[in-house]
């Protein structure tokens, strides 16, 4: 790119940067990410500057570059998250008091469940038994175990004593 075109590009960026940064912020909802996104889009625009004949269309070109770049970043980020069958281990809390209070609250909430729901939750989550194993122990169907656990978990989630 020759000197006059570089100056033309610099002038464009100096003039339109605030407007383009607002558009980038709308795409990312984060000021730092928006600045990175705008910088990447301007780099792409700089490389294509000689090919852009209509200078009135430059804003559209930069916005399209921002959208395409943001989509690429989302896709790349999405590949970094993989669903698994097991939940990750919870980080160890530094404060023993918080752990004790949470255990106490959970214990009280479990005590408020009807006996069958409490038993199925204990076997499922504390003893790590499968639904089939629980069904055999209790002499009920697997579907009954599933619905009982589901109802119990719903009650526990709605239990105000567990809320911080």
- The answer to whether 117 touches 124, Cβ cutoff 8 Å, is no
For all residues of the chain together, what is the average pLDDT?
83
Residues in Cβ contact with 12 at an 8 Å cutoff, skipping those fewer than 6 apart? 55, 58
What pTM was estimated for this model as a whole? Answer: 0.47
Q: What is the pLDDT of residue 83?
A: 65
Domains assigned to the chain: 3-79 (1.10.1740.10), 107-162 (1.10.10.10)
In this predicted structure, the answer to whether residue 94 has a pLDDT above a threshold of 60 is: no
Instruction: For helices 142-158 and 96-112, give the axis angle rounded to 10 degrees.
Output: 120
What number is the average pLDDT over the span 63-81? 79
Residues in Cβ contact with 15 at an 8 Å cutoff, skipping those fewer than 6 apart? none
pLDDT for 13-62, tens place per residue?
999 999 999 999 888 888 899 999 999 999 999 998 888 888 888 988 99
In this predicted structure, the answer to whether residue 95 has a pLDDT above a threshold of 70 is: no
Quick one: CA dihedral 52, 57, 58, 61, positive or negative?
negative
Q: What percent of the chain has pLDDT over 70?
A: 85
The span from the CA of 11 to the CA of 120, in Å, is: 69
Q: Which among 10-24, 74-88, 123-137 has the top mean pLDDT?
A: 10-24
Q: What is the pLDDT of residue 163?
A: 53
The span from the CA of 164 to the CA of 161, in Å, is: 8
Q: What is the pLDDT of residue 35?
A: 93
In this predicted structure, the answer to whether residue 139 has a pLDDT above a threshold of 80 is: yes
């Amino acid at each position: 790119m020759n000197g006059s075109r570089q100056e033309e590009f610099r002038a464009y960026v100096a003039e339109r940067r605030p407007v383009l940064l607002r558009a980038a912020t709308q795409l990312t909802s984060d000021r730092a990410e928006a600045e990175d996104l705008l910088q990447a889009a301007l780099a792409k625009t700089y490389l294509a500057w000689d090919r852009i004949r209509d200078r009135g269309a430059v804003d559209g070109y930069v916005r399209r570059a921002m959208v395409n770049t943001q989509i690429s970043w989302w896709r790349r980020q999405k590949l970094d998250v993989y669903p698994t069958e097991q939940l990750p281990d919870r980080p160890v809390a530094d404060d023993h008091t918080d752990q004790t209070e949470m255990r106490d609250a959970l214990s009280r909430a479990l005590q408020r469940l009807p006996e069958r729901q409490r038993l199925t939750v204990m076997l499922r989550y504390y003893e790590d038994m499968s639904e089939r194993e629980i069904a055999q122990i209790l002499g009920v169907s697997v579907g009954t175990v599933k619905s009982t656990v589901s109802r119990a978990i719903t009650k526990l989630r709605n239990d105000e004593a567990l809320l911080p």
